[in-house]
Structure 1
Amino acid sequence: MINYEQYARVVLQKGINLKKGQNLLISCNAGNYDLARSLATEAYTLGAGFVEISVQDNYITKARLAAQSGDELTYIPNYQIGKAHQLLSEDWARIRIDSTEEQDVLGDVDSDKLSLLSKASRTALRFVSTSMMNGEHSWCVICAPGPQWAKKVLGDKATTEELWDVLKPVLRLDREDPALAWEEHGHDLWNRCKILNEMKLDRLHFEAEGTDLIIGLNGIGRWHGGPGSLPDGRMVFNNLPTEEVFTTPDFTRCNGTVRTTKALKVLESPVEGAWFRFEEGKVVDFGADKGQDVLKQFLDMDEGARSLGEVALVDETSPIAASGLIFGSILYDENASCHIALGAGYPFCLELPPGTTGEETLKSYGCNSSLLHTDFMIGSPSLNVTGYDREGKAFSLIRSGRFVLA
């Protein structure tokens, strides 16, 4: 069994910055329960008040989808909603371990049923995702190696231990002081954001094979990356690993065509070779080599699913990209590649007037609203990104996949 003690400590101290007495919810699958247990054990060592592990299971979800239909799939127990309110009111921290051991379980289910189930859950618990995206509480998404994920990334004969050896340098666990290494990396990302913010960019132009896309930025938008600040001043990394700098674009200003460069999960189902054509901020045409049906369900989930909520820049020299591997996890692959997200935008990336709330008000400031937020990787070694300010001055940001920021 892999010793996760050091990893758990970094996640708890840098990922969620657990404070003494704070309660913690850890979500995982059966295949990554060992890491969840290590996190819980270390959390109590660090002074957690109460720790709960919640096991999610795509196999059970698949069984429900096969057996039920209609209103049966939209049932959400009231206790789940009450519990969610309690966790927010008590400022619980959250860690989600991505479902890398169950990646393909829902790949062949009825996409209409999956959409119905997902929409019901997302609608009932939307207040939770809104609070998280507003940066009001501490949360972190991570992954754990397992036999299925190892085979998917490294080949049929690969072991969990071999995948762990690949992940350790990506997670900076090979450093003498991993926590300090994350602090230093966070400062590097902050500096990159500082440069971008000083440019006061109006729009970005992405160009590569199959991609010619112009994304309008928000006049009150700010670039973020590395650790973010909680209301009490604590700094947290919402993703470990993270290599991106990102902002919330103006969801009404996107035109052109873009092709994804990595496979991903949409509504927990695999999608490959996706492409989109935007006009005036909305997807007006799309396709995919695999998973087109579930992609359609995603885009039809609500009005905001067809518009952008995020644009992120990632250097092809990031440790994840440099590995040359496709991880099949959005968390890892998005940090190896420039990406866009369809769905809800991040209000904390906008310099909004104090007390600004409500979907329509946020939309009036150019921040998209949706039940969804899914990243689509569009970066490659051939990608060029050029920024333009309001006067039309051009800034070379990325050439051949690498930051130049000139």
Structure 2
Amino acid sequence: MDQRVREHAQVLVDWSARIGAGDDVVLSVAEDAHELGVAVAEELGERGANVVTTYGSDEISRAFLRGHDGDFEADPAHELALYENADSVLRLGGGRNTTATTDVPSDKRQAYSKSRTGVREARMDTDWVSTVHPTRSLAQQAGMAYEEYQDFVYDAILRDWESLANEMARMKDVLDDAAEVRIVKEREDQPPTDLTLAVDGRTAVNSAASVDYDSHNLPSGEVFTAPYATEGEVFFDVPMTINAQELRDVKLTFEDGEVVDFEAGQNEDELAAILDTDAGARRLGELGIGMNRGIDRFTDNILFDEKMGDTIHLAVGRAYDACLPEGEAGNDSAVHVDMITDMSEDSRIEVDGEVVQRNGTFRWEDGFEA
């Protein structure tokens, strides 16, 4: 076994999930993540955790959804109980086919998602962490040789997370004190972006790949918050596969916090299906600012691409409770769909009128131009 697989497992169990003796853990292992699953199971055993293992397969999901009549039972008791009784849920991604569910009708996918709202909430109430094992299918999706992709993945995951957390704390402090964020892009080769988002009263999350930071992805490396009162337009120039459909050149227009117009250069019907899921799907649940410099290219995988240092991402749908004042309900939806825009040129992020990032460079980094 590649030593980096063992190191990945150690980071996941110790830094990310903070597993201790007696913790009840659900370990979900994708089809081609077996090797990482073995390494994680060994680490969990050494720490005295209690483990239930499930098999996460897009091909199995496809078979079930295509065979079902679409009248899904809401929150089946046996599935709900699994997560209600878990301390942690570790999801190891790495399937065989990144487009395995592409021929499942969108309305059936959306119906299934809605039927699992309670299950999803129970899972997210645990100390859950999602990661991914580098597979050949993911390497192919990224347009990379397998060995090259392995190096890319481990460069993003096997980091000095404590040091990165200290750096990202600067951006968290900026957002915690902010009332309004403005995102501007003025590239000649694409539609303009000029978007304002209210963030006052919110708490930004320093997403340093650990539940102790209210962070649930490995790798991570972003600072995110829950915006509201969104106004303006935004163009997403980074292609992204969502529900096994590749979306390209997405443009959203917001008025009074809601998407009032949209278009996509590819698979616009899928974008429409996402936005029509429920009322909350037309509002933003997240503004995320990528800060992981170990991710240096786009790979058509949201787990990596949204953390890249020269990007921001916005998610339509559900807001995360960690960003909200106690007792306040944020945007609620059965979906949380991230879309990314590249901020590396002809762009800026303003916070309360002050530029904090220009052309992908933060004001505390070398090369920043005010």
Q: Is the aligned partner of 1:327 residue 2:313?
A: no
Per the TM alignment, residue 207 of structure 1 is displaced from its structure 2 partner at its CA by 2.2
Task: Choose the corresponding residue for 2:283, options 307, 331, 334.
Answer: 307
> 370, 380, 393: which is aligned to 2:333?
370
1-structure distance, mates of 2:213, 2:288:
20
Say whether 1:137 aligns with 2:126: yes
Counterpart code for 1:137: T
The count of aligned residue pairs is: 359
- Measured after TM superposition, the shift of residue 263 of structure 1 is 2.3
Q: Is the 8 A contact 2:278 2:334 kept in 1?
A: yes
Q: Is the 8 A contact 1:100 1:329 kept in 2?
A: no
Q: 1:118-137 residue pairs with structure 2 within 5 A?
A: 118-121=113-116, 123-128=117-122, 132=124, 137=126
C-alpha distance in 1 between matches for 2:96 and 2:210:
31
- 2:85 alignment partner, SS class: helix
Residue aligning to 1:226: 207
Residue of structure 1 in register with 2:162 after alignment: 183
Q: 1:386 to 1:153 in 2, by over 3 A?
A: closer
Find 1:105's aligned residue among 74, 78, 100. Answer: 100
Change (3 A) 1:286 1:254: same
What is the TM-score of this pair, normalised by structure 2? 0.88
Work out which of the residue numbers 139, 144, 147 in structure 2 matches 1:150.
139
User: What SS does structure 2 have at the residue aligned with 1:31?
Assistant: coil
Q: Distance in 2 between matches of 1:75 and 1:202?
A: 38
Taking only the aligned residue pairs, the percentage that are identical comes to 25
1:342 partner letter: V
Q: Give the letter for the 2:141 counterpart.
A: K
Deviation at 1:404, TM superposition (A): 2.1
1:399 CA drift (Å): 1.0
Kept in 1, the 8 Å contact 2:209–2:218? The answer is: no
Q: Counterpart amino acid of 2:286?
A: E
Equivalence for 1:16 = 17
Q: Are positions 1:85 and 2:84 aligned together?
A: yes
Q: Distance in 2 between matches of 1:75 and 1:269?
A: 26
Note the C-alpha offset of 1:267.
3.5
More helix by share: 1
Aligned in 2, Cα 1:281/1:183: closer, same or farther, shift over 3 Å?
same
Q: Distance in 2 between matches of 1:351 and 1:383?
A: 35
Per-residue deviation, 1:310? 0.8
Q: Closer, same or farther in 2 for the Cα pair 1:237/1:13, shift >3 Å?
A: farther
Asked if the contact 2:24–2:85 (Cα under 8 Å) also holds between the matched residues in 1, the reply is no
Aligned mates of 2:154, 2:120 — CA distance in 1: 34
Separation of aligned partners in 2, 1:310 and 1:349:
9
Q: Sort the Cα spacing of 1:335 and 1:37 in 2 relative to 1 into closer, same or farther, 3 A.
A: same
**Cα offset, 1:29, TM superposition:** 1.4
Alpha-carbon shift at residue 75 of structure 1 (Å):
6.6
Distance change in 2, residues 1:127/1:7 (3 Å)? closer
Q: Which of residues 76, 82, 89 is equivalent to 1:94?
A: 89
Query: CA contact under 8 A between 2:98 and 2:141: conserved in structure 1?
Result: no
Q: Is the 8 A contact 2:31 2:95 kept in 1?
A: no
The answer to whether the 8 A contact 2:207-2:224 is kept is no
**Is the 8 Å Cα contact of residues 92 and 133 (structure 2) preserved in structure 1?**
yes
Residues 142-184 of structure 1 deviation map (CA, whole Å, 9 limit, x = unaligned): 11111111222244xx23x332122222223xxxxx5xx1111
Instruction: Go from structure 1 to structure 2 and tell me whether the alpha carbon gap of 1:6 and 1:40 turns closer, same or farther (over 3 Å shift).
Output: same
Q: Quick check: which one's strand share is greater?
A: 2
Match of 2:367 in 1: none
1:13-60, CA deviations, whole angstroms, 9 ceiling, x for partnerless residues? 111111222121122211112212211111111232x11221122112
TM-score by length of 1: 0.81
The aligned counterpart of 2:322 is 348
Report the AA paired with residue 79 of structure 2.
Q
